[in-house]
Amino acid sequence: MRARRRQGHGFGRFFRMVAPDVVGLLVAQGQVSVAATGAFLDWSEGGAADAAALTALEHDADEARRALLGALRAALATPIDQEDLYILSERCDRVVNAIRDIAVEADALAWTPDRHAARMAGDLHAGMTVLVEGFAQLRGDFASAGAAADKVRAHARTVVWRYRDAVAEGYRSADLQAAVIGRELYRPYARAADLLEAVADRLWYVVLADA
């Protein structure tokens, strides 16, 4: 349950003392997610990161999420509705799972990310970075949190545009087999962008409900 804003100052201080820093725990999970999208960008650019590194970061994100859920269970009250915190955490986790799965599937298909993949990964990483900055603003600067959500949506939609361009270019090439495989691997990038946008949409909902 959310502590009501119109309660007396003494009552509010009491809740601040007994409530864990659930926003901080959400930010902590988000920071691991940023590390994961950063590693995914490195992998997409042909760097040292690999599917194993992404899997390890996905496990770290799960640990951070469990810490948040444990705090939500123990809290007498939270500054943001518990359901909203749960959904933000769960949707953020889906993005990390999605990018991990891309790297795993690419390994299985012996597919090497190209410049289209690197560009899409760059926007996913930029979007996740701004998203976590928005999470941090939920301590009181709701206008900045909403602005962050808008930026995240813009990054997510850019990924979808890049996906369409990549697919179109692939089918104009002479190597049809490579184009088909590329399309199958590009599509999850766009799906990850949809998942990222879903987190931004929920962040905006929190802004409207709690501001």
- The answer to whether residue 121 sits within a structural domain is yes
How many structural domains does the chain have? 1
Three-state DSSP at 174 gives coil
CATH code for position 115: 1.20.58.220
- The answer to whether residue 165 sits within a structural domain is yes
Q: Residue 95, CB half-sphere, CA atoms under 13 Å: how many?
A: 36
Q: Both ends of the chain: CA-CA distance in Å?
A: 16
User: 98: which 2 tokens?
Assistant: 């999605």
Three-state DSSP at 194 gives helix
- The answer to whether residue 2 sits within a structural domain is no
| Mean pLDDT (10-residue bins), the chain, 211 residues | 43 51 96 98 94 96 96 86 96 98 90 92 98 96 96 97 84 61 83 98 93 63
- The answer to whether residue 1 sits within a structural domain is no
- The answer to whether residue 127 sits within a structural domain is yes
- The answer to whether residue 195 sits within a structural domain is yes
Question: pTM for the complete prediction?
Answer: 0.86
- The answer to whether residue 137 sits within a structural domain is yes
- The answer to whether residue 19 sits within a structural domain is yes
For 141, the domain range is 9-210
User: 52: which 2 tokens?
Assistant: 């194993």
